[in-house]
Structure 1
Amino acid sequence: MTASSEQDNVQDHSDPSHGARLGFDTRAIHHAFDPADFSRAVQPPVFLTSTYGFESVAANDAAAALGGRLYAREYNPTTEILEKRLANLEGAEAGLVVSTGMAAFGTLVLSLLSQGDELVVHKTLYSNTVAMVEQCLPRFGIRVVPVDLSNPNNLDAAITDKTRLVYFETPVNPLSAILDISAIAARAHARNVKVAVDSTFASPSLQRPIEHGADIVLHSLTKYINGHGDTLGGALLGDAETLHTLHETGLRYITGATLSPHSAFLILRGLKTLSLRMERHSASALIIAHMLEAHPAVAWVSYPFLDSHPDHTIAHKQMTQGAGMLAFGLHAGFDGARTMLDRLQLLTRAVSLGDTDSLIYHPASITRARQAIRKDAHLIEGVGEDLVRLSVGLEDVSDLVADLRQALQDL
């Protein structure tokens, strides 16, 4: 069952259809936009303006009272449509879009945490988030507490009276470990602590953390939601009060990390095909995961919808499909991974994920290269030197399988 079929009975009062019961895909195309309000344009216009003019001082005052609708860092009609549409798809009250996924994380923690506060995070995070929590937040007097959240009971000892937020990814980059959102949220909420979930690897098409108890959802819009590898963006989605704080403090004067209206337009375009793309990503990734699992050169495969994945039961509980991300290691280790990547003829050697193109990279090689200029560069928790991360794209899966097979030959 797809996410869109699950949502067929959601009441949606802000669509042009005036409250008709609309499914996920219909809302991904139409929510918060009525062509009648924009000179009958079928696609949302891109408002390329840095400021706004008003017909009177009173009108200017009214715009200011609405929360900064004076200047484009704080308001833009194109980005507002995207915020409303994403919030609707996630089941959130409100949304905020910013310039990148890291801008979203920075806006989140710098807006909600102060000197003396504590942030509990899962022990494994995206590498740049690790840099933020290890190097940046302690400088501001914010204590970061890494915890193995694969066992939600570990929260009991980690949360103190100073804890303000629990933050984790699921699926977790890069191994696609799955954390139990509802179990973690229940323990955090029992201590009056908010929970924020980075759901980038799944997208709202496959997983909606708020339905499982999360308070805030973070996305790197650069990835699956945009889906075409041609712009950057980030989003925070949650309750209206918290999102007001994130907008009025975080975006307005802490980070100022505004998403450009043209990027918002591109992401709105990508959002319209999200479910179709996620179905293809997921189906192809599962085929490739099975192929790799059976290949003699492959030591292990991690994909959440494989029966061999340790978290597959939780994955089936909170995700409708496994998405397009998988990781694997070779018996030949570090050197074998480099040889295999050099042999690839179709898959693109690149970082990032969620594009139409299949992208593959070897974290250990990049980390060793970075150590030449950054001595503190290190692999994140749980990532070995053999690990290869693959973002399965939308190419014919038979072609992807053939390319991987020839690259793995005799390793």
Structure 2
Amino acid sequence: MRPDPTHPDTLLARAQGAHDPATHGVVPAVHPATTFLRAGDLSYPGGHSYARPFNPTFDGAETLLATLEGAAQALLFSSGMSAATAVFQALEPGDHVIAPQVMYWGLRNWLKGFAAQWGLGLDLVDMRDPAAVAAAVRPGRTRLIWAETPANPTWEVTDLAACAEIAHRAGARLAVDNTVPTPLLTRPVEHGADIVMHSATKYLNGHSDVLGGALATARADGFWERIAAIRANQGAIPGPFEAWLLLRGMRTLGLRVERACATAQRLAEHFAGHPKLEAVLYPGLPTHPGHAVAARQMRGGFGGMLSVRVKGGAAGAVAASAALRIWTRATSLGGVESLVEHRGSIEGPDSPCPQDLLRLSCGIEHADDLIADLEQALEHVPA
């Protein structure tokens, strides 16, 4: 897709100029129809036949996301997991996949089971090291490299351009989970990615009231057609009202991401070296091992997510979490409310997540209040 010169914030605020063509309302309409009228010659004059493969309500969000990502096309899915798994399901039995050791735990666990059932070769590697990625390539078999950067929940950074070069040299594709940075901070296609995934439940919607996912592609090729067929055949689509809410949420993405990034940066700088913390994990800190790579491939900030490792192990982390008053103890991220989660208790014993880690998702509350709340909570950590 040819880059749109309009600033992303303007495209988002105006929903790329979307409106209701029937009434000229400035808000796009919801189309709840599941089937569409055929003409006398059996054609579909409106361009839609049935709601499972396509729905007019999807069009606005899909077009806007494709523009933001610099992609050829985008597709909405019923969840981030349904979007991500469709990419792996489009592979052939016997293909080989490289994925990160640190990634969204739900997808990692699913992938381990699916790879065994589908006959995929699977290697989980340290994606911070391009040499480790290259060493994991199986000539003639590797067909997909999956990356997530910064990687949830320790926020390790992957060099996307290096991984794209490795993938393409092997005849494979690079797919990138771009949920946390959003296309406002990172556009993986610009760094050579072939597929971009979003859990649209998170930052794209931004209000913790929609379950959805999305994929965008650099090229509408045969692999993309297989993904679209999987979506249609499995019915892995959101409802029209959910798609409408998603587009409504996307209109404030620029403001929310800007605020979340600024707050996360303030928190990281404030709590770095705190006596009750072992470490602050945030790529916006110059001391972060991946800071230089993040600075090269991210623009406008380093994201609204960070993690802290609390002294005293799991007990110290849980004690701090329990004492919080403004931060909300809940799963998920990217909403207007700031969330905290002890990831070790969620991910289980085989997780690479340290047991002393608290994951923080910065919302749009005032940073001073969030800092003060975390300060008082850390007072409850045993000395």
Q: TM-score range by the shorter chain?
A: over 0.9
Alignment correspondent of 2:6: 22
Alignment correspondent of 2:371: 401
- Deviation at 1:34? 4.4
Map 1:24-63 to 2 at 5 A.
24-30=8-14, 33-35=17-19, 37-60=21-44
Q: Which amino acid aligns with 1:183?
A: A
**Mapped partners of 1:346, 1:149: distance in 2:** 34
Identify the match of residue 226 of structure 2 among 242, 245, 259: 245
Q: Find runs of 4+ consecutive structure 1 residues off by over 4 angstroms.
A: 31-34
Identify the match of residue 98 of structure 1 among 74, 77, 97: 77
Please say if 1:107 is aligned against 2:86: yes
Identify the match of residue 235 of structure 2 among 248, 256, 259: 256
Aligned residues: 376
Alignment correspondent of 1:315: 294
**Mapped partners of 2:41, 2:152: distance in 1:** 50
**Mapped partners of 2:84, 2:285: distance in 1:** 30
Asked whether the 8 Å contact 2:15–2:247 carries over to 1, the reply is: no
Identify the match of residue 335 of structure 1 among 278, 299, 315: 315
Please say if 1:365 is aligned against 2:345: yes
Structure 1 residues 34 and 390 mapped into 2: Cα distance closer, same or farther (>3 Å)? closer
2:184 counterpart SS class? coil
Structure 1 residues 299 and 11 mapped into 2: Cα distance closer, same or farther (>3 Å)? closer
Please say if 1:348 is aligned against 2:333: no
Residue deviations 1:56-109, cap 9 Å, x none? 24324x77xx7xx32101111111221111001100000111010000011111
- Deviation at 1:30? 3.6
Alignment correspondent of 1:205: 184
2:185 counterpart SS class? coil
1:204 counterpart SS class? helix
**Mapped partners of 1:263, 1:165: distance in 2:** 30
**Mapped partners of 2:287, 2:131: distance in 1:** 24
**Mapped partners of 1:126, 1:34: distance in 2:** 33
In structure 1, list runs of 5 or more residues that go unmatched.
Answer: 1-9, 13-20, 368-376
Alignment correspondent of 1:7: none
Identify the match of residue 174 of structure 1 among 153, 164, 167: 153
Alignment correspondent of 2:118: 140
- Deviation at 1:390? 0.5
- Deviation at 1:28? 1.8
TM-score (norm 2): 0.94
Residue deviations 1:266-322, cap 9 Å, x none? 111111111111110011111111222132101101001011111000111011111
Q: Which amino acid aligns with 1:84?
A: T
Q: Which amino acid aligns with 1:407?
A: A
Q: Which amino acid aligns with 2:226?
A: T
Asked whether the 8 Å contact 1:221–1:233 carries over to 2, the reply is: yes
**Mapped partners of 1:52, 1:26: distance in 2:** 33
**Mapped partners of 1:133, 1:217: distance in 2:** 17
Map 1:211-250 to 2 at 5 A.
211-238=190-217, 239-241=219-221, 242-247=223-228, 249-250=229-230
- Deviation at 1:256? 2.0
Q: Which amino acid aligns with 2:148?
A: E
Alignment correspondent of 1:15: none
- Deviation at 1:136? 2.1
Structure 1 residues 379 and 328 mapped into 2: Cα distance closer, same or farther (>3 Å)? farther
- Deviation at 1:378? 2.8
1:305 counterpart SS class? coil
Q: Which amino acid aligns with 1:134?
A: K
Please say if 1:184 is aligned against 2:163: yes
Asked whether the 8 Å contact 1:101–1:220 carries over to 2, the reply is: yes
Map 1:291-302 to 2 at 5 A.
291-302=270-281
**Mapped partners of 1:70, 1:362: distance in 2:** 46
Alignment correspondent of 1:153: 131
Asked whether the 8 Å contact 1:103–1:257 carries over to 2, the reply is: yes
Residue deviations 1:84-135, cap 9 Å, x none? 1100110000011101000001111102x12111111112121111111111
Computed over aligned residues only, the root mean square deviation of the Cα atoms, in angstroms, reads 1.7
Residue deviations 1:146-165, cap 9 Å, x none? 12221112233321211111
Asked whether the 8 Å contact 1:289–1:306 carries over to 2, the reply is: yes
Asked whether the 8 Å contact 1:94–1:243 carries over to 2, the reply is: no
**Mapped partners of 2:211, 2:32: distance in 1:** 17
Structure 1 residues 73 and 330 mapped into 2: Cα distance closer, same or farther (>3 Å)? same
Alignment correspondent of 1:373: none
2:289 counterpart SS class? coil
**Mapped partners of 2:62, 2:108: distance in 1:** 27
TM-score (norm 1): 0.88
1:366 counterpart SS class? helix
Aligned residues with identical type, % of pairs:
37
1:58 counterpart SS class? coil
Alignment correspondent of 1:272: 251
